[in-house]
Amino acid sequence: MSSNTIALTELPASRPLALRLHEWVTTVDHKRLGILYILFALVFLAVGGVEATIMRLQLIGPHKDLVSPEVFNRMFTMHGTTMIFFVAMPLVFGFANYLVPLMIGARDMAFPRLNAFSFWMSALGGIFLYFSFLGGDGLYGAGSAPDVGWFAYAPLTSKTFSLGHSTDYWTLSLLSSGIGSIGTAINIITTILCLRCPGMTLGKMPLLVWLNLVMAALVILAVSPLSAAQIMLLIDRYLGAHFFDTQAGGSAVVWMHFFWIFGHPEVYVLVLPAFGFASEIIPVFSRKAMFGYPVMVLATIAIGFIGMSVWAHHMFTVGMSAGANTFFVLSTMAIAVPTGIKIFNWMATMWGGKIRFDVPMMFCVAFLFQFLVAGLTGVTLAVAPFDWQLGNSYYVVAHFHYVIVGGILFTAFGAFYYWFPKVYGKMLNETLGILHFWLFFIGFHLTFDFMHIPGLLGMPRRIYTYEPGRGWDTWNLIVTVGVAFQAAGILFFACNLIWSYLRGKTSGNDPWDAWTLEWSISSPPPVYNYAVVPVVRSRRPLWDLKHPEDPDWRYE
């Protein structure tokens, strides 16, 4: 509460640093928490990127010994856990926090203090995870950071195989950030259902809001099982229980089910907001209204439902019954249908539009192609016999990085370039942005296009080195070279953020001539968001405002 009163009285920017930091730590404002989430994600993006770089340098050629096998295990575990839980999730929640209340004309999230609590629980999770580097040894002098892989299959996580506290930090970290995620999801759903401005019926919400609504529902249904499984693992490790203890009749496969009941919907948790970014950016830069809005909404809901019933395609190689295999093959293939509908809708939006290739649009167009490829390799992996051949190979690694980097991260970069002017009132530099795009684009394709090939040639994931002469050497070299381009791209991005924050050209309220409510208020938005509660009549309220002679509500 105090932060609001301070900000309202507009104290000069020169107040002491301690006071300003205190405002950020105690804030309950959705915009500030959104920025905190995103900064948190960016810090961990750098950390996770360093871990990936270490792995790629180790694999640059056969028989390298940059790191030991033990350190390599820690690197892939920390890289996976960090990127999913402390980069992708906070990025998604940060944008949702910042944008959803603005887009529906609300003052704040429904539960501002729950919002702050959720952020700090997630932050605590990140601290738990990285404290393991120092505290993982425990009294046993064994272990450091977690090294059980990001899905931590039993019985690797049992006391016998995970001495010390590394696995405890891993499970506490995920439990803590899980509580934060569920809190934020409750907040997002309640905000969307209960705080829309007059006239904004469900059918008139911006698509980003719709996608975040379904995302939050998925978080509630998917992260809760993960938290339950983490509680069981904690009980196993601390109280000597036997949930996943195969020696006492427990089952390792049960952990796999529980983890992937979370793990697969999680992909949709991350990709739906990315679809949201694309669905806001592509229409604005094509100068056309979104094609097939109702179908987009229905496809989103369909993805939500089907996404809850595909998890065991991660377990084809474990050995399930023919019936289970068939079910999960079919459900996994079925999800390609609503996803395909979305791709056609974005293409139809661009078709015949006056396309402007600004940096946000460049990232979104790249996303369209890359996400298509990611979806196609996904369909190949949905075929159980093909998966038996390629499961746990670099083909799988290439596939899901195509989704997460090529799909989610690319649209997130687009979102940065698109909404940065709203958040800081300054444009991100276009030259640096174009350099960022091309370097990252080239690096992405060098790394992840060529990563499919050693996978097809039989290279398993998570090996710390390999023999020469298996035909993997050149491909691995190319993959690692791509990392250098990606790192350079990220460097330009970071420079761009800092430089534009300090010296960027002033953007005005509505630099892209956009149509959703957030562009109607000043940049950066005032603490109270809207001085007068807006009233909307169509899906593009600012179009109606700018074109009173031809408003959208005549056609919707």
Which residues form the interface with other proteins (CB under 8 A)?
105, 110-111, 182, 185-187, 189-190, 193-196, 198-199, 220-221, 223-225, 227-229, 231-232, 235-236, 239-243, 248-251, 254, 258, 261, 509, 517, 520-522, 526, 530-532, 534-537, 541-542, 544-545, 551, 553
In the complex, minimum distance from the CB of residue 97 to other proteins, in angstroms, rounded to a whole number: 16
Contact 331, 316 (CB under 8 A): no
Nearer to other proteins, 152 or 189 (CB): 189
- Give the amino acid at 326: T
Q: Which two tokens stand for residue 497?
A: 């953020």
- Give the amino acid at 225: P
Nearer to other proteins, 71 or 301 (CB): 301
In the complex, minimum distance from the CB of residue 169 to other proteins, in angstroms, rounded to a whole number: 22
Nearer to other proteins, 342 or 540 (CB): 540
Q: Give the residue among 22, 21, 23 at the shortest CA–CA distance from 7.
A: 23
CA distances from 538 to 199, 201, 478, 504 (A): 8, 9, 50, 33
Cα 497 to Cα 416: distance, rounded to the nearest angstrom: 9
Nearer to other proteins, 25 or 194 (CB): 194
Cα 290 to Cα 340: distance, rounded to the nearest angstrom: 16
Contact 349, 288 (CB under 8 A): yes
Nearer to other proteins, 34 or 534 (CB): 534
In the complex, minimum distance from the CB of residue 217 to other proteins, in angstroms, rounded to a whole number: 8
User: What contacts 527, CB < 8 A, 6 or more positions away?
Assistant: 4, 7, 8, 29, 31
In the complex, minimum distance from the CB of residue 290 to other proteins, in angstroms, rounded to a whole number: 19
Nearer to other proteins, 298 or 535 (CB): 535
Residue 460 β-bridge partners:
393
In the complex, minimum distance from the CB of residue 186 to other proteins, in angstroms, rounded to a whole number: 4
Contact 492, 424 (CB under 8 A): no
In the complex, minimum distance from the CB of residue 223 to other proteins, in angstroms, rounded to a whole number: 8
Cα 39 to Cα 20: distance, rounded to the nearest angstrom: 16
Nearer to other proteins, 449 or 510 (CB): 510
In the complex, minimum distance from the CB of residue 321 to other proteins, in angstroms, rounded to a whole number: 15
Nearer to other proteins, 232 or 435 (CB): 232
Contact 502, 425 (CB under 8 A): no
In the complex, minimum distance from the CB of residue 247 to other proteins, in angstroms, rounded to a whole number: 9
User: What contacts 297, CB < 8 A, 6 or more positions away?
Assistant: 203, 207, 210
Nearer to other proteins, 21 or 318 (CB): 318
Contact 296, 342 (CB under 8 A): yes
Cα 452 to Cα 266: distance, rounded to the nearest angstrom: 23
In the complex, minimum distance from the CB of residue 538 to other proteins, in angstroms, rounded to a whole number: 8
In the complex, minimum distance from the CB of residue 243 to other proteins, in angstroms, rounded to a whole number: 6
The secondary structure of residue 106, as a DSSP letter, is -
The secondary structure of residue 525, as a DSSP letter, is P
Nearer to other proteins, 43 or 220 (CB): 220
In the complex, minimum distance from the CB of residue 382 to other proteins, in angstroms, rounded to a whole number: 25
Contact 408, 88 (CB under 8 A): yes
Contact 226, 164 (CB under 8 A): no
Burial letters 1-31, b for 16+ CB under 10 A, else e: eebbebbeeeeeeeeeeeeeeebeeebbbbb
Nearer to other proteins, 19 or 248 (CB): 248
Tell me how long the chain is.
556
Cα 220 to Cα 183: distance, rounded to the nearest angstrom: 9
